[in-house]
Chain A
Amino acid sequence: MLEMLSSAQFWVDVFKIVLIDLLLSGDNAMVIALACRNLPAQQRKKGILYGVGGAIILRIVLTFFAVSLLALPYLKLLGSLLLVWIGIKLLLPDDEHAEGNIRAETQLWAAVKTIIVADFVMSLDNVLGVAAAAHGNFWLLVFGLLVSIPMIAWSSQLVLKLIDRFPWVIQAGGALLGYVAGEMLVSEDLIKPVLGAHPALHWLLPLLGAVLVVALGKILSARQKKGPVAIDLADELVTANEQNKRGNT
């Protein structure tokens, strides 16, 4: 394990995993907090605890499940296509009309169920991204998990602020996902014969993946109608209290 630490490739992979975790983890903590909002106060803590615990266990199980699945033939091809799609989705602005048929849960187990289902859906992106970037290295995989778990428990607006200040971070994330999609494709057994004949594809495919995601992201978001930058939620007028109005004192 130690000689691994001195290779440049290892640190590049670490950087990739941190970026993927950062960009594809954000929402879990928010969903947990919001799903438990309508529970009675004494159940809320329990709900959050069960929700976080379940989400962490699910994340670990999914990661190892994904890795063993990716060892099967054809699935790397599928995985790399999914990664391209996840990358494009990251670059697209929010769809204002995407609203699920959901209601506020007031029962503990209903809230926990919402959290677990939500985490399953939201973890898939992250797990696949990290599994691709780790390309089979067990320690990188564990590292990716360790980085993502605190993000499940503590939501931070740090990512939102980071993207607001440096909008290119999100483009870089999309490009990175395209790149690891290409890398995954290169390791697919199915295309081994093609790669043997054209060794240049080893670096060309990841590069193409990155370009593809960024280009498609640009084209599709240009087509999407842009919503307002901000939404007004409340506007309230408070009139001055007559007794202590200025001039009376």
Chain B
Amino acid sequence: MKILIPIDGSDNGNGAIDYVIASLANQKVWPEIVLINVQWKLASGNIKLFIDPETLNAYYREQGAAALAAARALLDSAGLAYRVQLSIGAPAEAIVQYVQENQVDEIVMSSQGDASLATFILGSVANKVVQLAPLTVTLVKSKNRT
């Protein structure tokens, strides 16, 4: 059993970690947990013309590590093994691509991570993942986070 947990770094988004820890606590075998963070691909032709790829990748890594830190801390303190994946692209599409390339059994994610006005108008990543992903997606309501 392999569970993919998309993490956007928001407090709401980390609710999915709490849910996985709490709801799977009674299981005999721990599932394989993969945290994925997707950084928006910023490198259009213009940026690539003036910024070297190492600097750009270092920037992505830094942003990704910052987004994943809280989620990792939650898993660490629960003493769980996990895998960390950082992808560059559009979030929903990158998540779906990971699912297609790796044998993932289920996605668990917060129904709404970053709760900005833009997300409210443009729709959440979760909506799009549900629409695109060919597998079970569990949406965790974020209000329950303690």
Known: A238-B81, A240-B80. A98 touches B45 (CB 8 A): yes
Partner of B47, one of A31, A165, A240, A244: A31
Query: Nearest Cβ in chain A — how far from B45, in angstroms?
Result: 5
Would you list which residues of chain B between 109 and 146 have a CB under 8 Å from chain A?
Answer: 118-119, 122-123
Query: Nearest Cβ in chain A — how far from B64, in angstroms?
Result: 7
Partner of B79, one of A35, A94, A122, A240: A240
Chain A residues in 8 Å Cβ range of B58: 37
Smallest CB gap from B56: residue in A: A34
B86 engages A234 (CB within 8 Å): yes
B97 engages A230 (CB within 8 Å): yes
CB of A232 within 8 A of chain B?
A: yes
Partner of B52, one of A102, A245, A249: A102
Would you list which residues of chain B between 81 and 104 have a CB under 8 Å from chain A?
Answer: 81-90, 92-94, 97-98
| Bound CA span A80–B78, Å | 62
| Bound CA span A88–B81, Å | 48
Q: How many residues of B contact A (CB 8 A)?
A: 53
Chain B residues in 8 Å Cβ range of A249: 79
B81 engages A240 (CB within 8 Å): yes
Chain A residues in 8 Å Cβ range of B50: 31, 35, 100, 102, 114, 117-118, 121
* Interface residues in chain B, defined as those with a beta carbon under 8 Å from any beta carbon in chain A: 25, 30, 38-61, 64, 72, 75-90, 92-94, 97-98, 118-119, 122-123
Smallest CB gap from A156: residue in B: B118
Smallest CB gap from B33: residue in A: A238
Smallest CB gap from A34: residue in B: B51
Query: Nearest Cβ in chain B — how far from A111, in angstroms?
Result: 11
21 A–B contacts from the bound complex (CB under 8 Å): A27-B42, A27-B46, A31-B46, A31-B47, A31-B50, A33-B59, A34-B59, A37-B58, A38-B55, A104-B55, A118-B46, A157-B40, A228-B89, A230-B41, A233-B88, A238-B82, A240-B79, A241-B76, A243-B79, A244-B77, A245-B79
CB of A3 within 8 A of chain B?
A: no
Question: Per-position contact with B for A155-172: 1 when CB-CB < 8 Å, else 0?
Answer: 001101110110000000
A236 engages B84 (CB within 8 Å): yes
Task: Please list the 4 inter-chain residue pairs (A to B) with the smallest Cβ-Cβ separation, ordered nearest first.
Answer: A230-B89, A230-B94, A244-B79, A240-B81
Question: Per-position contact with B for A87-113: 1 when CB-CB < 8 Å, else 0?
Answer: 000000011001110111000000000
| Bound CA span A246–B28, Å | 10
A238 engages B84 (CB within 8 Å): yes
